[in-house]
Amino acid sequence: MRSHLRVKSVVAVAIIGIVQFLSGCKTQIADPAPVDFGQLRVINFAAQNSPIDVYIQGVGLPTDTLPSAQTLGFGLAMVYKNNLTTSTAGTVYHVSIHPVNNRQTELSHVDVTIKPGQK
pLDDT tens column, 51-78: 999 999 888 877 777 888 889 899 888 8
Q: Dihedral of CA 93/95/100/102: which sign?
A: negative
DSSP-derived 3-state class of residue 119 = coil
Residue 80 DSSP class: P
Strand partners, 58: 93
Instruction: Pick the range with the lowest mean pLDDT from 9-13, 73-77, 103-107, 112-116.
Output: 9-13
16-37 mean pLDDT: 57
| Sequence letter at residue 44 | N
Going through the chain in order, the beta strands assigned E by DSSP cover 37-40, 52-58, 69-72, 81-85, 91-99, 108-114
pLDDT at site 59: 84
Domains of the chain, by residue range, sit at 37-114
Asked if the model's pLDDT at residue 45 lies above 80, the reply is: yes
Q: CA 77 to CA 30: how far, in whole Å?
A: 41
